[in-house]
Amino acid sequence: MEVYVRCVEKVMRRYVQRLQWLLSGPILCGRTWHKQSTGSSSGSRRLFGAILESKVCVLLDTSGSMGPYLQQVKTGLVLLIWEQLRKRCHSFNLLSFAEGLQPWQDALVETTDAACHEAMQWVTHLQAQGSTSVLQALLKAFSFHDLEGLYLLTDGKPDTSCSLVLSEVQRLREERDVKVHTISFNCSDRAAVEFLRKLASLTGGRYHCPVGEDTLVTIHGLLTKGFIEERDPALPPFEGDDLRILAREITKARSFLWQAQSFRSQLQKKNNVEPKATLL
């Protein structure tokens, strides 16, 4: 039982480390904000999730409703370029969409330092205006040769029918095996969230929703020391697929740990109370 408890505690620590890695943002400890291992105050995984494929395109909503948040998104995108695309991807492209499309390049380009610097400069000049032409952006991105994964960040529904977008993507998927990972910048718009969930699920991708500052503050104890005690708070409900699945596993592991600790306590009490048998 002691060995089992130690093993489950080890699993819990790994889960907490994984949760920290996925959130990859500022962690509140007492009254001090601590930076993550990325060396920045806001890592790219917190906003975009983890990049999985080697040949990717990032689709960025720059419609008028994104105006108040565009600087934050641009900062996150620059971090994404250097933290994930440069380190993990063979080739990439960026495409902003509003009423029209603004691709960075006409095709995927090799991920070099020079390309990343050019992409970073392109990001700094983005502006927010117009509507949300999601379908046109997806059609353009699917035309890129060798594409493996799309990462679509938007704060609302498309300006066309959601069912039309889903049917068109289904048709495109019959020709090319490209996963569409969706990122909701406005998780309070439930209709938009449902659309993005369906789009990701349709293509075998993941739905991601960035965790807010309030949630980070709520679970700061977990992120600094873990929470293996029964009195520690439960995890809040996460919207994104990765965090929701991980939270479910953590909750399951916690219940196993508490059960094992209870059994251990009963065994210790039993061994302390009952006299040892003597051999005749």
Q: Are 23 and 218 in contact (CB under 8 A)?
A: no
Domains belonging to the chain, first-starting first, are 52-209 (3.40.50.410), 219-266 (no CATH)
Chain-centroid distance of CA 135 in Å reads: 23
Is the pLDDT at 109 greater than 90? The verdict is yes
Distance CA 85, CA 6 (A): 37
What are the DSSP E strand ranges found in the chain?
27-29, 32-34, 55-61, 91-97, 101-103, 109-110, 149-154, 179-184, 207-208
Lowest mean pLDDT among 47-56, 88-97, 210-219: 210-219
Is the pLDDT at 276 greater than 60? The verdict is no
User: What's the pLDDT at 34?
Assistant: 36
pLDDT digits (tens, 9 = 90+) for 230-246: 677 778 888 899 999 99
pLDDT digits (tens, 9 = 90+) for 52-104: 999 999 999 999 999 988 999 999 999 999 999 999 999 999 999 998 999 99
CA nearest neighbour of 91 among 106, 72, 102? 106
Is the pLDDT at 33 greater than 70? The verdict is no
Q: Which residue has the higher pLDDT, 179 or 234?
A: 179
Q: What percent of the chain has pLDDT over 90?
A: 54
Lowest mean pLDDT among 84-88, 179-183, 189-193, 202-206: 189-193
pLDDT digits (tens, 9 = 90+) for 123-177: 999 999 988 899 999 999 999 999 999 999 998 888 889 999 999 999 999 999 9
Is the pLDDT at 31 greater than 70? The verdict is no
Distance CA 58, CA 180 (A): 10
